[in-house]
Amino acid sequence: MTDQATRPAAEPEVPGGLATFVEEWEEWHAEHQRVRADKHGFLAITSINWLDEEPTRFPDAPGAWSTGPEGVTVRLDEGEELVVDGAVVHGTHHFGVIAERDSLYPGFGEAVIEVAKRGGHDIVRPRHPDNELRTGYTDNPAYAPDPRWRLSGRYVPFEEPRPITVGATVEGLEHVYESPGTVEFELNGETHRLTAFNGPTPGSLFALFTDATSGVTTYAANRHLAIPAPDAEGRVVLDFNRANNLPCAYTDLATCPLPPAENHLPVAIEAGEQLPPPRPAKA
């Protein structure tokens, strides 16, 4: 669906030259595949379970699980055990109150159980390395790295950070992220703007977005773009070659956030990860 009217027009200079640019992208892409296929990664999740005050057992995890004002609790029957922070536990174990978007990973056998809070709800997601979704995963297709999609931009901070509520791939679930500002960039003489959220390292940012390729050659719900910290003048680099899929592209057991409405770009960003490979057929 290449449209020259929506592609960067000039061949920009890249640090280290084209060969280095391609090599670094290939390393980035390979690392994403490695993390995605990790034995306890998202592809290993076998169920998502929303906890309440009633102790409930699940077929892919030991114990009866519940939550309440004091946080998450598991009651293990005789012969059942978990490994928590390197120690074997039996009987009743209290995990306490878990912060939003935090996760704990007690283990049992070759598996782990993610105990987490998402959208204000406590959940349990067992992760089994032999899950067919993980063992059948193959490399995710991506557009060939192209320096023309490494764009210069401007960071425009808000006077005060703003809480931004976004939807989720789980119906009825909402996420709240703090946005310190927007990032602006130009494409074919037009200015585009993305609401940005705080990234994992101090000063870094990320954006969730869709564009004219979404649902055609790229995942329909969203893509994620990491943005290094702005420099002293507010300049940023948006390398769309590194736009990647969130876990919801691969499993229905994820709670991924959706982009804010203003982050739909009316152009085709033909860079970064494309549609995920087909999922293994269920038996």
For residue 19, is it within any domain? yes
Overall pTM surpassing 0.75 (yes/no): yes
Those residues whose C-beta lies under 8 Å from the C-beta of residue 274, and which sit 6 or more positions away, are 140, 141, 142, 143, 217, 218
Residue count (the chain): 283
Q: 9 pLDDT band (50/70/90 cuts)? A: low
Confidence (pLDDT) at 283: 53
Q: How many CB atoms lie within 10 A of CB 127?
A: 26
Of 5, 45, 50, nearest in space to 172 by CA: 50
pLDDT, one tens digit per residue, over 49-85 is 999 999 999 999 999 999 999 999 999 999 999 999 9
Number of domains in the chain: 2
Q: 12 pLDDT band (50/70/90 cuts)? A: low
Angle at 272 between CA 208 and CA 256, to 5 degrees: 35
Instruction: Give the distance from CA 281 to its chain's centroid.
Output: 24
For residue 275, is it within any domain? no
pLDDT, one tens digit per residue, over 208-243 is 999 999 999 999 999 999 999 999 999 999 999 999
Owning domain of residue 113 = 42-135
Of the residues 135, 167, 188, the one at which a domain ends: 135
Quick one: 111 and 94 in the same domain? yes
Confidence (pLDDT) at 2: 45
| Contact (Cβ atoms closer than 8 angstroms) between residue 253 and residue 127 | no
Quick one: 56 and 15 in the same domain? no
Separation of alpha carbons 21 and 14, rounded Å:
7
Of the residues 106, 135, 164, the one at which a domain ends: 135
Confidence (pLDDT) at 7: 63
